[in-house]
């Protein structure tokens, strides 16, 4: 896949999407918002991709929305009913870009170095797991620009951090450092350097890819559903989901592999 804003590679059953505009601190241009969901949907459609790592290049993960997106002004006007309708349509289009990460059948892992700012926070909140370097930091930059973060941060982050912390970050626009983020559970683990971070994230992705992909995909769906519903509702969902994905063949493969000392060979998810 050829993209303007990032590089995509697949090795075995693990995909790696790397933001590749370090000269612009990996700011998110209009092209980025088009390309990201397209790339994720293409990877998901294959069926053979079992985990995705999103990393970046240069000293910072992402500076967030490229301010050139705001230069025209016209699509962002809200003075009339028609203008507000256009604004909402554009907003939903941007949100869909990150929904693609949350809705993909495979787990998505973010590997963050340096600054993760504005739209970068929206992006990583849509991922399943987050790993970072010790120098990483997260900023809800929108408040510093006089606006409300609107592409996922306040929809997902309150489920990932204590409410008081989200309010603090959202009201002040101050940095959440990597070590505090790890203590609070937002970041899964810290690494000493960018190279060890990416290598570690890919190793975790390969570990996930070695598990039964149907069970992993169902686990992602189950956790996401439970996050947004009551315990009783989550049991109703589980009892509908499990009969549709339960595979005695995968269990038998797992047991045989454990006894034989070799990894189990599971079937891929069906292509979309």
Please tell me if the domain spanning 6-209 has the same topology as the one spanning 213-260: no
pLDDT score recorded for residue 63: 96
pLDDT score recorded for residue 259: 84
The domain ranges of the chain are: 6-209, 213-260
Q: Give the length of the chain.
A: 272
pLDDT in tens, 147-170: 999 999 999 999 999 999 999 999
Tokens, residue 55: 């990393």
Name the range with the highest mean pLDDT among 58-67, 157-166, 249-258: 157-166
Q: Which residue has the higher pLDDT, 4 or 191?
A: 191
Residues 127 and 109 sit within 8 Å (Cβ to Cβ): yes
Average pLDDT over residues 60-87: 83
Burial class (CB within 10 angstroms; exposed 0-12, middle 13-18, buried 19+) of 148:
exposed
pLDDT in tens, 16-54: 999 999 999 999 998 999 999 999 999 999 999 999 999
3-state secondary structure of 245: helix
pLDDT score recorded for residue 66: 87
Query: How many helices (H) and strands (E) would you count in the chain?
Result: 10, 9
Q: What is the rounded CA–CA span in Å between residue 130 and residue 182? A: 9
Long-range contacts for 159-167 (Cβ within 8 Å, ≥24 apart)? 159/227, 159/228, 160/125, 160/185, 160/186, 161/185, 161/186
pLDDT score recorded for residue 2: 75
For tokens 């996050």, name the residue.
227
Q: What is the rounded CA–CA span in Å between residue 40 and residue 268? A: 17
CA dist list (Å): 48 to 45, 76, 103, 176, 249: 8, 39, 16, 36, 18
Q: What is the rounded CA–CA span in Å between residue 30 and residue 28? A: 7
pLDDT score recorded for residue 68: 74
Name the range with the highest mean pLDDT among 71-80, 97-106, 256-265: 97-106
Question: CATH number of the domain at 213-260, please?
Answer: 1.10.12.10
pLDDT band at 179 (very low <50, low <70, confident <90, very high): very high
Q: Is the dihedral angle over the CA atoms 38, 41, 47, 51 positive or is it negative?
A: positive
Tokens, residue 25: 């601190």
pTM: 0.95
CATH C-level class of 6-209:
alpha beta
Burial class (CB within 10 angstroms; exposed 0-12, middle 13-18, buried 19+) of 245:
middle
| Half-sphere exposure (Cβ direction) of 254: Cα atoms closer than 13 Å | 10
């Amino acid at each position: 896949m050829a993209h303007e804003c990032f590089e995509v590679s697949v090795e075995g059953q693990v995909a790696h999407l790397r933001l590749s505009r370090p000269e612009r601190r990996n700011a998110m241009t209009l092209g980025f918002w088009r390309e990201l969901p397209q790339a994720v949907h293409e990877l998901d459609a294959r069926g053979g991709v079992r985990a995705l790592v999103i990393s970046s290049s240069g000293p910072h993960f992402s500076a967030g929305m490229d301010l050139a997106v705001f230069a025209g002004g016209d699509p962002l006007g809200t003075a009339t009913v028609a203008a507000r309708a256009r604004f909402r349509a554009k907003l939903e289009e941007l949100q869909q870009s990150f929904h693609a990460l949350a809705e993909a059948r495979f787990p998505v892992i973010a590997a963050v170095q340096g600054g993760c700012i504005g739209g970068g926070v929206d992006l990583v909140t849509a991922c399943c797991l987050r790993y970072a370097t010790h120098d990483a930091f997260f900023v809800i930059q929108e408040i510093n620009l006089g606006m409300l973060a609107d592409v996922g941060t306040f929809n997902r982050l309150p489920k990932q951090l204590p409410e008081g912390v989200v309010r603090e970050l959202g009201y002040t626009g101050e940095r959440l450092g990597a070590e505090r983020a790890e203590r609070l559970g937002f970041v899964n683990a810290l690494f000493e350097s960018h190279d060890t971070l990416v290598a570690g994230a890919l190793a975790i992705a390969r570990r996930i890819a070695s598990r039964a992909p149907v069970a992993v995909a169902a686990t992602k769906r189950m956790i996401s559903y439970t996050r947004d519903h009551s315990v009783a509702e989550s049991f109703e969902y589980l009892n509908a989901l499990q009969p549709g994905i339960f595979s005695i063949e995968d269990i038998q493969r797992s047991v045989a592999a454990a006894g034989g000392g070799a990894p189990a060979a599971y079937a891929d998810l069906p292509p979309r």
